[in-house]
Amino acid sequence: MLSIPEIASQLIEKSQNDDNDSSSRTIFVVGSKSVGKSTLLYSFLEKNDPPRETLVVEYSFGRKSNQKQGIDKILCHIWEYGGKLETLNNILLSTPIRGKYYFCVIVDLSKIKCIWETLDTCTRAMNDVYSTSPDHPELIIIGGKYDIFKNYDSEIKKMICTTLRSIALLHKAHMLFYSSKEPQLLRRAKDMLYNISFGNSVPVKEKNTNYTKPLFIPKGSDTWESIGVPPSTLEQVKNRHITRIPPAPATSETNSSTLAQLHVHPEPSLDSLIALKYAELRNMESLDIPVEYLLSISK
């Protein structure tokens, strides 16, 4: 049975046989859970229905007429990954790439102890898969839920911004902060997506490096001197970060809401069988379907 990326790849190839790379773009979006990835993409694509949870991989596209060519259209292929970050490498290997490629990592600024692990896991997967590939993407780092983060302690905000700017500088990445609850930031993020989808990359006319305000830093416009730290390696950036902000301890995938859902049968024997089956499913390395989804379809 073909996977979602393989099916979408066949559809893309079938519908775009006559397209050349200059009229195509590919955007891959990944990052923290429930940070607003789908909300941003739905807003950019002007979808009216409410965003739904991305279980594994979702494919969508945007199309715009090329005014210079008249008839030709620019097509942007958008992939959103909502599965486990540990299996991101496998998804990237099977994702078709057309034209200029952007890898967008959205981290949850409200969960400061998870920022490093999320960003490091995603960028490592990107480098592992594309290190020797001609399709190496342009990296975009987005800090989501800025509406919460802006109220944090000043020193915490400064440290997080220093870390994110350092990683962006090392990876030659664009960086901006975003919130679906602040119209100005939502509009700026949408404008950025529009420019990489149908324009000429992220515009450099805007820039803000002040940590007391939402960051917006196009690649190549930042320096170690501006960040306020000496030139650093990734390991030095990590050590500096985790010394001030230790990572969150590993937690079980079974949260309280899931445990509550497990007890939906009136008979204890059925509860035990259901719990055993879900435990088996969790231990299957090849399966990446959230238990919450299985519960929802079993009702």
Residues 194 and 275 in one domain: no
Q: Calculate mean pLDDT across residues 8-16.
A: 62
Specify the pLDDT at position 260.
47
Residues 240 and 273 in one domain: no
Domain span including residue 117: 4-244
Q: Are 201 and 193 in contact (CB under 8 A)?
A: no
Q: Calculate mean pLDDT across residues 16-20.
A: 50
Does the residue 249 lie in any domain?
no
Backbone angles phi, psi at 140, to 5 degrees: -125, 125
| Range scoring the smallest mean pLDDT among 61-70, 131-140, 153-162, 180-189 | 61-70
Does the residue 251 lie in any domain?
no
Q: Exposed, middle or buried: residue 48 (CB in 10 Å: 0-12, 13-18, 19+)?
A: exposed
Strand arrangement, sheet containing 100-108:
57-65, 73-81, 24-31, 100-108, 138-144, 174-177, 216-217
pTM: 0.76
Does the residue 173 lie in any domain?
yes
Q: Are 122 and 31 in contact (CB under 8 A)?
A: yes
Record the tokens describing residue 232, joined without a space: 């650093």
Residues 143 and 223 in one domain: yes
Find how far residue 60's CA is from the centre of its chain: 15
Burial 191-217 (b: 16+ CB within 10 A, else e): ebbeebbbeeebeeeeeebebeebbbb
Q: Provide the domain count of the chain.
A: 2
User: 147 by DSSP, 3-state: which?
Assistant: helix
141-191 per-position pLDDT tens digit: 999 999 999 999 999 999 999 999 999 999 999 999 999 999 999 999 999
| Tokens 């719990």 sit on residue | 275
36-47 per-position pLDDT tens digit: 899 999 988 888
Bridge partner residues of 108 (DSSP): 144
Which residues are within 8 A (CB) of 169 and not within 5 positions of it... i.e. 6 or more apart? 222, 223, 224, 227
Does the residue 128 lie in any domain?
yes
Residues 285 and 171 in one domain: no
Which residues are within 8 A (CB) of 122 and not within 5 positions of it... i.e. 6 or more apart? 30, 31, 85, 88, 103, 105
Q: Are 24 and 98 in contact (CB under 8 A)?
A: yes
Does the residue 110 lie in any domain?
yes
